[in-house]
Amino acid sequence: GEDVEQSLFLSVREGDSSVINCTYTDSSSTYLYWYKQEPGAGLQLLTYIFSNMDMKQDQRLTVLLNKKDKHLSLRIADTQTGDSAIYFCAEIPRGSTLGRLYFGRGTQLTVWP
């Protein structure tokens, strides 16, 4: 079965950059996603990247994709206390149902003031 790996915890100081790493399973995955989950809230899509891209930047967010190593990272610049949440990496392997996401266990990001 699919097994997306993420480190479970990350702590940073406010104003620093955060880097959350993920290893996914299918080198043919066409879409890779980062979702954010705040306490008591549903999942919110932060950003996604297509497999034909190496990098995507969206304001404070930078996504890097290394297909050879099946490694995905999310960098948050100038991290704020409001960024404290759980961040999930997810993939849709080639041939899978559209919208059938395979999630990692999530990385709990804690931002200290």
* Residue 61 contacts another protein per CB under 8 A: no
Rounded Cα distance between 100 and 98, Å, is 6
Helix or strand run (H / E) with residue 20: strand 18-23
Residue 106 interacts with another protein (CB under 8 A): yes or no: yes
| Binding region for another protein (CB under 8 A) out of 13-21, 57-65, 66-74, 97-105 | 97-105
Question: Is residue 103 near another protein by the rule CB under 8 A?
Answer: yes
Interstrand relation of 55-58 and 85-92 (parallel, antiparallel or unpaired): unpaired
Minimum CB separation of residue 15 from another protein in Å reads 29
Q: Which of 27, 100, 110, 112 binds another protein (CB under 8 A)?
A: 100
Task: Establish if 72 lies at the interface with another protein (CB under 8 A).
Answer: no
DSSP-derived letter for residue 78 is: S
* Distances from the Cα of 64 to the Cα of 14, 49, 61, 98, angstroms: 22, 9, 10, 23
| Binding letters toward another protein, positions 27-46, x by CB under 8 A | ----x--------xxxxxx-
Beta carbon nearer to another protein, 14 or 103: 103
CA distances from 70 to 30, 44, 79, 83, 88 (A): 12, 23, 26, 25, 16
Residues that bind another protein (CB under 8 A): 4, 31, 40-45, 48, 88, 90, 97-106
